[in-house]
Structure 1
Amino acid sequence: MKPDRVVVLGCGPAGAAAAITLAARGISPVVIDPRPSVEWEPGEGLPAAATPLLRKLGVWPAFQASGHLRSSGFLSCWGSDEPAFRPALLDPRGPSWQLDRAAFNGILRDAAGTPLTRRVNDVRRHGPGWMIDRLEADFLIDATGRAGALARLLGVPRRVDSRLVGMVALLPDPSPAEAASIVEAARDGWWYASRVPGDRLVVALFTDASVARDISPDRWMSLLESTAHAGPRAGSGFPPPKIRTVAAGSSALSQCAGPGWVAVGDAACAHDPLSSRGLHDALSEGIAAAEAVALGDPSAIDAYAARTAAEYRAYLDDLAWYYRQETRFPDSAFWKGRSGQV
């Protein structure tokens, strides 16, 4: 039976996509965002494959008007000292985008409606439905990101397949007209550099959490300066920046759905940023799960959960293959055995 009262926990891209989709199918969800504000968004890329999803959600015109930047392509130095360039013009779906994440999140939140900004402290069964603190619901959607707040409250375990972290800095962009993003393998991990709106440059070192503990801002700067591509893109002459360390590894719930609930986006499965699928999957899973919920058929939720689990397993195989291609640093603490960790 189609639920009347659906609560969406989280209003990032996955939660907003779910809420927008539910509303389009005649269900007015209650959206609760446990985070009253986002303190810092470093910027991120959105692949061309996400464009149809933005159109489906009805936010494409607002997205186009929000100042996001087109990417000219990707410069990759991986498995070889010779870089390879993949131009965006070769993608028939159009350009990929370098986002202002705060603006992107704002577009989706506006379309989803104003969320309630409060923490959820108690979730329990209430007859055939749920009681969230003092709020009754027929169905719950967990879109609380890697924290998986609902899954934790329900006691659903999470499998962690890698402990990758990103050591991220936001710098003034010395060449704001340079529209290519850079991925470059190095002894201590791999670097990512990409412009974002506002003449800024996101630069990140992705490495294992155990390696990151020993990397100070000065050391981060030294490692950046030793690279062949990311360092020159960032320029020189600036002091060690403020560095934020964020979780970036692969992890997944042991089950991403159960009676009366479903998880979407990073709450269900979190991906290594090397895959470039985090935001795309957040949107697509938010839409797919909401469509299944709106059908009111438990088998549709089961099918969503089975498909999500199968896609995550295939992703781990693909990721392990890609990491195995980098063989230049066999004695590195990061690369040694890396393909067996993902």
Structure 2
Amino acid sequence: MIKDIYDVVIIGGGPAGLSLAISLLQKQQLSVLIVEGQFEGEERIGESCPPDTIVLLKQLGVAREFYRANHKTCPGYASVWGKNDVGYNDFIVNPMGPSWRLNRKKFDSMLVERAVDLGANILWGTHFLNTEKTLDGYELRLRNRKLNKEQIIATHFVVDASGATARFAKSIGIQKKVEDRLFASVRFSKILEGTASKQVQIEAVSEGWWYSSILPENRLVTMMVVEKKQLMYLQNENYSGFEKALQDTKFISQRLKKLTTTDHEFYTWPIYSGILPEIEGKNWVAIGDAASSYDPVAAHGIYKGMNDGIEASAKILGFFNQEPKEDFFSAHVKIRYANYQKNRAFAYAMEQRWSQSSFWKHRNEKYASSEVFMVP
């Protein structure tokens, strides 16, 4: 079988994989293929970026395009967490500027266009299946979802940007060490009429916590983070459990009363807190959620993924220029994960109103004991 051969194959076309491709191709002309399981334009979770994101966008050469798109600034956060009163955290005095609420499809499209303009190739709707080691790299078996057709490609270097499941790392025998498993039940809605605060709203409840944000183009995202058993309740009877739980909130439900919404779309995403025991090898590296995945209570996923992509490009350049940078990137990932663990433990420990409920009791017990188990 004749195989296509690439210098670099990136498994995953989210912000992490796209940022790596851009950063790499800005510095050196290589043949780069991005393999993405979703089709172009499909819905993705994640629509917030901290002020510092602008620094990364400038490094990737897309800051001007970002400002031209229909993204919205956010004055900050309003939360009910650890007490019954509303607390506020804003970005008004941040020297980097405001936080951002993204039009996610435009944001992703901006990164895709930049990567393609620099020479990257993208296979949409294509899943990575497995791999075999070769003398000078790897052979990857892929399947096109639309055609249900398999193909084998060869590459000198693999980037695992496949998300929290870390599919490539798992295929070579490296399993992520996971501390916690949660689930996000997410509803996207269209706002027909009404006005409400542009602040991101967060509210802790006995079964988990809620997140709500107004997005560009009159869209609203509402999310509840829960354990698996509560997820089943939320999904019951066409998500009637979700609607009932949302009505029971004291803070976020007040915003929703001011808005008339329609076109509700529901999604479920797993949330893993974990890190790979091995993040890189001679001719592979894991980035973004594949390398280390965070609970959104203490992290900015898009920013972390983009930053990983930019930093990891140095390892790949070193590989092709015979200037190896072994474990340099891994050290950064591990330091950031240790800091994340502290921030996450602090955030959950602040909430003691439901200390005996399953959700909050499990969080504090896990984080106090640093429990780790393997993803099956």
Q: TM-score, normalised by structure 2?
A: 0.84
- Select which of 298, 313, 320 maps to 1:275: 298
- Select which of 167, 185, 193 maps to 1:167: 185
Helix, strand or coil at the partner of 2:353: coil
Residue ranges of structure 2 left out of the alignment (5+ in a row):
1-5, 142-151, 368-376
Cα deviation for residue 177 of structure 1 reads 5.9
Alpha-carbon distance between aligned partners in 2 of 1:209 and 1:17, rounded to the nearest angstrom: 32
- Select which of 194, 197, 201 maps to 1:182: 201
- Select which of 327, 332, 336 maps to 2:357: 332
Alpha-carbon distance between aligned partners in 2 of 1:94 and 1:181, rounded to the nearest angstrom: 16
- Select which of 274, 286, 295 maps to 1:263: 286
**Residue type matched to 2:350 in 1?**
Q
- Select which of 308, 315, 338 maps to 2:340: 315
Cα deviation for residue 224 of structure 1 reads 1.3
Partner of 2:212: 193
Helix, strand or coil at the partner of 2:351: coil
Root-mean-square deviation over aligned CA pairs: 2.1
Alpha-carbon distance between aligned partners in 2 of 1:19 and 1:74, rounded to the nearest angstrom: 32
Residue ranges of structure 1 left out of the alignment (5+ in a row):
none
**Residue type matched to 1:87 in 2?**
D
Deviates more, 1:34-43 or 1:7-16: 34-43
**Residue type matched to 1:5 in 2?**
D
Cα deviation for residue 271 of structure 1 reads 0.9
CA contact (8 A) 2:75 2:92 kept: yes
Cα deviation for residue 62 of structure 1 reads 1.0
Give the paired residue count. 339
Change (3 A) 1:247 1:292: same
Helix, strand or coil at the partner of 1:146: coil
Q: TM-score, normalised by structure 1?
A: 0.92
Partner of 1:230: 252
Deviates more, 1:130-139 or 1:10-19: 130-139
Change (3 A) 1:42 1:268: closer
Helix, strand or coil at the partner of 1:28: coil
Cα deviation for residue 148 of structure 1 reads 1.6
Alpha-carbon distance between aligned partners in 1 of 2:284 and 2:360, rounded to the nearest angstrom: 38
Q: In the TM superposition, what whole-angstrom CA distance separates every residue of 1:259-302 from its partner, at most 9, and x where no partner exists? A: 21000001111111112321111000000001221123675241
Change (3 A) 1:29 1:316: farther
Cα deviation for residue 176 of structure 1 reads 4.9
Cα deviation for residue 209 of structure 1 reads 1.8
Alpha-carbon distance between aligned partners in 2 of 1:337 and 1:27, rounded to the nearest angstrom: 49
**Residue type matched to 1:33 in 2?**
V
Cα deviation for residue 337 of structure 1 reads 3.2
Q: In the TM superposition, what whole-angstrom CA distance separates every residue of 1:127-152 from its partner, at most 9, and x where no partner exists? A: 13222344332211111112322112
**Residue type matched to 1:163 in 2?**
R
Helix, strand or coil at the partner of 1:162: strand
Partner of 2:171: 153
* Structure with the larger strand share: 2
Cα deviation for residue 22 of structure 1 reads 0.9
Alpha-carbon distance between aligned partners in 2 of 1:175 and 1:71, rounded to the nearest angstrom: 18
Partner of 1:93: 96
Q: In the TM superposition, what whole-angstrom CA distance separates every residue of 1:165-220 from its partner, at most 9, and x where no partner exists? A: 11110123354563210111111111100011121110111111232122332222
Alpha-carbon distance between aligned partners in 2 of 1:158 and 1:99, rounded to the nearest angstrom: 30
